[in-house]
Structure 1
Amino acid sequence: MNRVVVTGIAGFSPIGNNWEAIFGRLKSGETGIVQMPEWDIYEGLNTRLGAKVDFTVPAHYSRKDLRSMGRVAQLAVVSSENALIDADLLNADVLTSGQAGVSYGSSAGDTGAIADFGNMLLHNNCDGLNANTYIKMMSHTSPVNIGIYFGLKGRVYTTSSACTSASMGIGQGYEAIKFGQQKVMLAGGCEHLCATEAAVFDTLYATSTKNDSPGQTPRPFDKDRDGLVIGEGACTLVLEEYEHAIQRGANIYAELVGFGTNSDGQHITQPSAKTMEQVIRLSLEDAGLAPQQIGYISAHGTATDRGDIAETQATSAVFGKHTPISSLKSYTGHTLGACGALEAWVAIEMMRNNWFHPTANLESVDDSCGELDYIKQQGRELETDYIMSNNFAFGGINTSLIFKRWNA
Structure 2
Amino acid sequence: MGIWSCIGTNKDKVTESLKAGRSGIGLDKDRLEYGYQSGLTGIVERPVLRGLLHRRLRQGLSEEAEYAYMASKEAFEQAGIDDAFLAKNEIGVIFGNDSSARPVIEAANIMAEKHDTQLLGSGFIFQSMNSTVNMNLSSIFHLKGVNFSVSSACASGSHSIGLAYLLIKQGLQDRVLCGGAQEVNYYCMATFDALNAFSKRMDEPQKASRPFDRDRDGLIPSGGAAALMLEDYESAVNRGATILAEVCGYGFSSNGGGISEPSDEGSVIAMTRALDDAGVTADEVDYISAHATSTVQGDMFEAMAIDRMFRGKHALVSSTKGMTGHECWMSGASEVVYSILMMQGGFIAPNINFENSDEYSEHLNLATHTVETEINTVLSNSFGFGGTNSALVIKKI
Using the size of structure 2 for normalisation, the TM-score is: 0.95
Is the contact between residue 99 and residue 181 of structure 1 (CA under 8 Å) also seen in structure 2? Answer: no
1:207 corresponds to which of 194, 198, 223: 198
1:247-396 matches, cutoff 5 A: 247-322=238-313, 323-369=315-361, 371-376=363-368, 378-396=369-387
Q: CA deviation at 1:198?
A: 3.2
Moved >4 Å (runs of 4+): 120-124
1:22-61 matches, cutoff 5 A: 22-43=14-35, 45-58=36-49, 59-61=51-53
Is the contact between residue 10 and residue 74 of structure 2 (CA under 8 Å) also seen in structure 1? Answer: no
Is the contact between residue 197 and residue 230 of structure 1 (CA under 8 Å) also seen in structure 2? Answer: no
Q: Which residue of 1 aligns with 2:109?
A: 119
One-letter code of the match for 1:212?
D
Which digits, 9 at most, give the CA deviation of each residue in 1:78-99, with x for residues without a partner? Answer: 2112211110112243x34573
Q: Secondary structure at the match of 2:2?
A: strand
One-letter code of the match for 2:336?
A
Is the contact between residue 20 and residue 370 of structure 2 (CA under 8 Å) also seen in structure 1? Answer: no
Q: Secondary structure at the match of 2:154?
A: helix
Looking at structure 2, the residues matched to 72 and 126 of structure 1 have their Cα atoms a distance apart, in angstroms, of: 27
Aligned length: 394
Choose 393-402 or 349-358, whichever is displaced more. Answer: 349-358
Which digits, 9 at most, give the CA deviation of each residue in 1:163-188, with x for residues without a partner? Answer: 11111111111111111011110000
Is the contact between residue 206 and residue 323 of structure 2 (CA under 8 Å) also seen in structure 1? Answer: no
Which digits, 9 at most, give the CA deviation of each residue in 1:146-172, with x for residues without a partner? Answer: 111111111012112121111111111
Is the contact between residue 192 and residue 232 of structure 1 (CA under 8 Å) also seen in structure 2? Answer: yes
Which digits, 9 at most, give the CA deviation of each residue in 1:3-44, with x for residues without a partner? Answer: xxxxxx01101011223222222333320011111223223x
Q: Secondary structure at the match of 2:217?
A: coil
Q: CA deviation at 1:195?
A: 2.1
Is the contact between residue 79 and residue 229 of structure 2 (CA under 8 Å) also seen in structure 1? Answer: yes
One-letter code of the match for 1:352?
Q
The question of 1:146 aligning with 2:140 is answered no
Is the contact between residue 21 and residue 370 of structure 2 (CA under 8 Å) also seen in structure 1? Answer: no
Which digits, 9 at most, give the CA deviation of each residue in 1:255-277, with x for residues without a partner? Answer: 11011112112221011110110
One-letter code of the match for 1:320?
R
Q: Secondary structure at the match of 1:50?
A: strand
Is the contact between residue 222 and residue 327 of structure 2 (CA under 8 Å) also seen in structure 1? Answer: yes
Looking at structure 2, the residues matched to 39 and 291 of structure 1 have their Cα atoms a distance apart, in angstroms, of: 43
Q: CA deviation at 1:370?
A: 6.6
Q: Which residue of 2 aligns with 1:3?
A: none
Q: CA deviation at 1:119?
A: 2.5
Q: CA deviation at 1:115?
A: 0.8
Looking at structure 1, the residues matched to 319 and 240 of structure 2 have their Cα atoms a distance apart, in angstroms, of: 34
Q: Identity over aligned residues, as a percent?
A: 33
Is the contact between residue 4 and residue 70 of structure 2 (CA under 8 Å) also seen in structure 1? Answer: no
Using the size of structure 1 for normalisation, the TM-score is: 0.93
One-letter code of the match for 2:222?
G
Looking at structure 2, the residues matched to 337 and 261 of structure 1 have their Cα atoms a distance apart, in angstroms, of: 16
Looking at structure 2, the residues matched to 23 and 135 of structure 1 have their Cα atoms a distance apart, in angstroms, of: 33
Is the contact between residue 19 and residue 347 of structure 2 (CA under 8 Å) also seen in structure 1? Answer: no
Where does structure 1 lack aligned partners over 5 or more consecutive residues? 1-8
Looking at structure 2, the residues matched to 394 and 100 of structure 1 have their Cα atoms a distance apart, in angstroms, of: 30
Q: CA deviation at 1:384?
A: 2.9
One-letter code of the match for 1:203?
A
